[in-house]
Amino acid sequence: MMVNTYLFGEIEVNPEQVLTFPNGLAAFENNKRFMLVHEEDKGEPLSFTMQSLDDPTLALQIIDPAAIGFAYELALTEAESALLQAPSLDDLAVMLVLYKRNESDTSGIGANIRAPLILNTKSRIGLQKIIDTPRPNVTISNLARSV
């Protein structure tokens, strides 16, 4: 199918590669179908553009949390596991949505670590897990001597 997008113009979308978010995303609940886009001639991508197929003007930049030195230990509820079609751990991917910080902040781009995307890469179903109370898990390594 052909889809007209704001960023990429008209592109062909393989229906088997569509990511579906049955509940939509926070602030974008009506956008349920997405595709991932990246420049193939640039090698292995660090981030992807997640283009909405429901709204051609909506495109979100997403990144693997490991690329920015962040790791998650997430537990899925029974409802979340059912929504993702009871995936095996090998079929799951966690991604973060990037955003532009306000103009007075000089650091530029941030990652929404409190609302990661969890994708079942096999069934191409996803959800956004809102973390109300994050519990940091800090690991200190490479100590010169034991503490």
Which among 62, 42, 52 is positioned nearest to 11, based on CA atoms?
Answer: 52
> Which SS3 state, helix, strand or coil, does residue 90 take?
helix
The whole-number pLDDT of residue 103 equals: 67
The whole-number pLDDT of residue 23 equals: 95
For the chain, domains (ranges, CATH) are 2-128 (2.30.290.10)
Total-model pTM? 0.82
The whole-number pLDDT of residue 70 equals: 82
The whole-number pLDDT of residue 67 equals: 86
The conformation of residue 78, written as its DSSP 8-state character, comes to H
The whole-number pLDDT of residue 142 equals: 44
**Contact yes or no for 77/92 (Cβ under 8 A):** no
- Residues of the chain short of pLDDT 70, as ranges, are 39-43, 103-107, 134-147
**Type of residue at 1:** M
The conformation of residue 87, written as its DSSP 8-state character, comes to -
CA-only gyration radius of the chain, Å? 17
The whole-number pLDDT of residue 21 equals: 97
